[in-house]
Structure 1
Amino acid sequence: MRGTSWQTIVATGVVVGAVSYLGLSVLETRAGTVVPVASQTWLVLAVVAVVLLLLGRSVRRLAEGRTTGMDHLRAARVAMFAKACSLCGAAFTGYFAAQVAVAWTNISAPALRDHAVWSGAAGVAALALLTVALVVEHWCRLPPDDDPEPA
C-alpha cells in the first residue's frame, strides 16, 4: 500500500469544497436556508483523530520491536484506517470550508455567525484528523528489505 499523496489530498479537498460551495450557495439562494452543522461535529472528528493516534502509537511500537498488544493483521487494519481518515479528513476540510464561505456572505446575522463558528470548528477538527492520519500512515511504513535478492 502506498501512502496518500499530497496531490490526492489537495485535489480531494478542492473538488469537495468547490462542489459543496456551489450546492450550498444554490440551496441558500433558492430555499433561504443553510445545511445545519451540529455543534458536536468537531468533537466527533477530534475523538476519531485521538483514537487513530492511539492505534498508530501501538503500530509504531510494534514496528520498533517493543512490547505491544498489536499484531500484524491489526497493524494492517490501522494502516487502512489511517488511509481512509486522510481522504475523509481532506473531504471534510473542503466541505466545512465551503460551509464557512457560504455563511460568511451574511455573517452579521446571529444564526449564520453561529453556523460559521461551528463549521469552522469542524473544519479545524477535520484538518487535525487529516494531519494525524498522515502521521499514522508514516508510522505504518515498513522498513525496506535488507535482502538484495530473494533466493
Structure 2
Amino acid sequence: MKAKRTPWWYYVIGALVGAILGYALVRTTRGMAIAPVGAAWFVSGLLLALGIVVLVMAWQVHRYVTGKVKTIDTQRAVTTLVLCKALAVAGAVLAGYYAGQLIMCILWRDVQFYHDMIGECIVACVVTVADMVMGIVGEWWCQLPPQEGPEHPNAKKRGKSRRSAAVAKTPRPADSADSAILHRDRDGA
C-alpha cells in the first residue's frame, strides 16, 4: 500500500466549506427556537482529548519508523495513519464551521445570547485548529522512509555504480578469443 500525503488545499477547501456551513446555519436559525451555535465545553475537551490520543498513537508509529522500536502491528500503523488524515481534515472543516459561527456571533454581539456564545466559539475554533495541526504532524510522523527500490533517490547512484561494475566485468572485444584471431589475421601471423 502506498499512501500519499494529504494535499494542503484539502484543508483550505474544508475550512471554507465549514465556514460557509457555520455561517449559513446560524443565519438561517436565528429566528427559530433552536440555535445550534457554539459547542459545549465538554465537546471542545473531548475533541482535544481525541487529538492527543491520535498524536500519541502517531508518535508510537514514528518511533518504529526511526528504529527506536523493533516491531509494530502493521494494521495499527495503517489505522493510525488513517486517523491522522481524518483528524486533520475534520479539524479543518470544524475550524471553519466554528469560525463561521464566530463571525455571525460577533456581528450580532449586541444580542445577549450571541454575546455569550462568542467564548464557546473561540474555544471550539482554537481546539479544532489544534486538532488539525495534530493530525498533520501525526501524518508526517507516520511517513515511512523511501524503500530501496527504483523510486529511491539513491537509485540513480546505485544504478550507475552497478552499470560501471557490470561494464568492467564484461570482456572487451580485444580480450576475447575472436578478437585475438582478428588481430592475428590483420598482423599477418
| Same fold, judged at TM 0.5 (above) | yes
8 Å contact kept, 1:97–1:119? yes
CA distance in 2 between partners of 1:20 and 1:110 (Å) = 19
**Could you tell me how far 1:108 is from its partner in structure 2?**
3.5
CA RMSD across the alignment: 1.8
Please report how far the alpha carbon of residue 137 of structure 1 lies from its aligned counterpart in structure 2 after TM superposition. Answer: 0.5
Q: Calculate percent identity across the aligned residue pairs.
A: 24
* Structure with higher RCO (Cα < 8 A, 6+ apart): 1
Matches of 1:89 and 1:25, distance apart in 2: 22
Normalised to the residue count of structure 1, the TM-score between the two structures is 0.89
- List per-residue Cα deviations over 1:31-82 (Å, max 9, x = no partner): 2653142122221111011101111110000111212774222011100000
1:88 aligned to which of 90, 104, 107: 90
Ranges in structure 2 where 5+ consecutive residues have no aligned partner: 152-189
d(CA) in 1 for partners of 2:105 and 2:70? 46
Equivalent-residue separation in structure 1 for 2:50 and 2:60 (angstroms): 16
Unpaired stretches in structure 1, ≥5 consecutive residues: none
Are the equivalent residues in 2 in contact too, given 1:58–1:68 (CA < 8 A)? no
18-27 vs 75-84, greater mean Cα deviation: 18-27
Aligned length: 148
In structure 2, distance between residues paired with 1:40 and 1:108 = 26
TM-score, normalization by structure 2:
0.72
- Larger gyration radius, structure 1 or structure 2: 2
CA distance in 2 between partners of 1:93 and 1:122 (Å): 7
Q: Kindly report structure 1 stretches of 4+ aligned residues shifted beyond 6 Å.
A: none
Rounded Cα–Cα distance in structure 2 between residues aligned with 1:62 and 1:69: 7
Map 1:60-139 to 2 at 5 A: 60-67=62-69, 70-139=72-141
Distance 1:114 1:123 in 2: 15
